[in-house]
Copies of this chain bind each other. A is one copy, B any other.
Amino acid sequence: MSRQELPIVPDAPACCAPLVDEALTDGEATGLARGFKALGDPVRLRLLSLIASRAGGEVCVCELTDAFTLTGPTISHHLRVLREAGLIDCQRRGTWVYYWIIPARLAALSQLLDVSTATVAPGTTR
């Protein structure tokens, strides 16, 4: 990743009640789908889990690169997708960039899929 100014993370939509409570509007679905699309890749999901599970809350990009057999530019691309979807943020300190998750955005996606109050269709099981 270059030393140039990093792009600003888009505002996460102020969203939403669980899917089981009410249907989404077009606008809500568009913002939320962007987050899920970013999560829809195994490498990005592993990167996010490596960042999210780190004690202390942040990870140097140098450690993330070491965890994969992929090239640095490929890792940087996937980190950029996660960042542009508002799931992570980062800060450069000296040589390295440090990443952390944005809990509010992940919580919004988690709450949307919360089915604890779901009605179960007749003849099916949870």
Residues of A whose CB lies within 8 Å of any CB of B are: 18-24, 26, 29-30, 32-34, 36-46, 48-50, 52-58, 89, 98, 100-101, 103-104, 106-107, 109-116, 118-122, 124, 126
Choice from B101, B114, B122 contacting A57 with Cβ under 8 Å: B122
17 contacts between A and B (CB under 8 A): A18-B52, A19-B53, A19-B101, A20-B52, A22-B53, A26-B46, A29-B46, A32-B45, A33-B39, A39-B113, A55-B119, A100-B120, A104-B126, A106-B113, A106-B118, A110-B111, A110-B112
Number of copies: 2
B118 touching A103 by the CB < 8 A rule?
A: yes
Known: A103-B126, A109-B113. 12 other contacts (CB 8 A): A18-B52, A29-B42, A29-B43, A29-B49, A32-B45, A37-B40, A38-B40, A39-B40, A56-B119, A57-B122, A106-B118, A110-B112
List of B residues within 8 angstroms of A41 by Cβ = 33, 37
